[in-house]
């Protein structure tokens, strides 16, 4: 009997792959591991001799989850990008052979950023995610999206550049959809290049007020000077 299962696990977490439970005691349990760009390896347990065999598996993060005579589950701790691949549990019993194959996909959450360029466009980037993320804009604009594989390890950087010409758009949002979760960022366009100014009428009022205050001060100073001059003449 053969069973196939697709499994997705988040990077840097722990994954446990179990063999299909059977009613008969297994004589031999073998995990065959086929990873991307690596030769196949296996881990096995023989019940009659109570012996575990490591094969040519050198990754110390892939181990038995517990004692294989009690539970022949396989454990990956922590999960890495390189653990993408197929894991097959083969159980040989007195009643026949049983196979349970897992296709493991490792998920990597992207790093999301949103910036505005000097040209006035907005750039939303979902960097180094696995699988590739999807980017949506609110409001919709004239957008161009491109993907760039990252160092051949299965991660992808997605970048979307958007512009809103001839439209009075002040705020835009970038929504990133990914298997590890969704994220949304917002930005105010042209922020940082606005200038604070006064209308012409306000400037005129301010100038008039300042001139009036200066005139009052000059009159007051002149009056005091005149009074002191008169006092001096009277004393003479």
Q: Rg for the chain (alpha carbons), in Å?
A: 37
Banded pLDDT at 190 (limits 50, 70, 90): confident
Residue 101 and residue 23 share a domain: yes
How many structural domains comprise the chain?
Answer: 2
Report whether pLDDT(191) > 70: no
Residue 85 and residue 155 share a domain: no
Banded pLDDT at 81 (limits 50, 70, 90): very high
Buried b (16+ CB within 10 A) or exposed e, 105-125: bbbbbbebebebeeeebbebb
Q: Find how far residue 205's CA is from the centre of its chain.
A: 53
Give the pLDDT confidence score for residue 75 in this predicted structure. Answer: 96
The highest-confidence range among 4-18, 38-52, 204-218, by mean pLDDT, is: 4-18
CATH for 127: 2.60.40.10
CA dist., res. 193 & res. 62, Å (int): 54
Last residue of a domain, one of 65, 92, 107: 107
Find all residues with CB under 8 Å of 153, minimum gap 6, and list them.
Answer: 81, 82
Report whether pLDDT(21) > 80: no
SS3 content of the chain, % helix, strand, coil (to 5): 15, 45, 35
Residue 115 and residue 87 share a domain: no
Q: Tens of pLDDT along 128-166?
A: 999 999 999 999 999 999 999 877 788 999 999 999 987
**Once rounded to an integer, what is the mean pLDDT over residues 93-100?**
86
- Tokens 């159980």 identify what position? 91
Banded pLDDT at 229 (limits 50, 70, 90): low
CA dist., res. 141 & res. 123, Å (int): 12
Tokens for 155, please give them.
Answer: 């991660």
* Burial group, residue 221, by CB count within 10 angstroms (0-12, 13-18, 19+): exposed
Q: What is the pTM of this model?
A: 0.74
Q: Find how far residue 127's CA is from the centre of its chain.
A: 7
Report whether pLDDT(195) > 50: no
Banded pLDDT at 201 (limits 50, 70, 90): very low
Banded pLDDT at 222 (limits 50, 70, 90): low
Give the pLDDT confidence score for residue 219 in this predicted structure. Answer: 64
Mean pLDDT of the chain: 84
- Residue 236 placed within a domain: no
Residue ranges making up the domain that contains 85: 2-107
């Amino acid at each position: 009997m053969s069973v196939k299962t697709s499994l997705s696990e988040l990077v840097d977490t722990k994954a446990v792959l179990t063999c299909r439970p059977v009613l008969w005691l297994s004589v031999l349990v073998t995990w065959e591991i086929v990873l991307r760009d690596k030769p196949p390896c296996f881990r096995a347990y023989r019940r009659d001799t109570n012996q575990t065999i490591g094969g040519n598996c050198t990754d110390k993060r892939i181990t038995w989850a517990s004692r294989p005579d009690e539970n022949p589950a396989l454990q990956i701790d922590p999960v890495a990008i390189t653990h993408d691949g197929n894991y097959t549990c083969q159980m040989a019993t007195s009643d026949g052979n049983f196979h349970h194959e897992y296709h493991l996909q490792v998920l990597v959450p992207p790093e999301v950023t949103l910036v505005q360029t000097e040209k006035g466009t907005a750039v939303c980037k979902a960097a180094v995610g696995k699988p590739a993320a999807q980017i949506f804009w609110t409001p919709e604009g004239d957008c161009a999206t491109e993907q760039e594989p990252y160092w051949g390890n299965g991660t992808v950087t997605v970048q979307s550049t958007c512009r809103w010409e001839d439209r009075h758009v002040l705020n835009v949002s970038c929504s990133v959809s990914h298997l590890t979760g969704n994220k949304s960022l917002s930005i105010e366009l042209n922020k940082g290049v606005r200038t604070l100014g006064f209308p012409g009428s306000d400037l005129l009022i301010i100038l008039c007020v300042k001139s009036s205050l200066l005139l009052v001060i000059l009159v007051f100073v002149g009056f005091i000077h005149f009074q002191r001059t008169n006092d001096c003449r009277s004393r003479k």
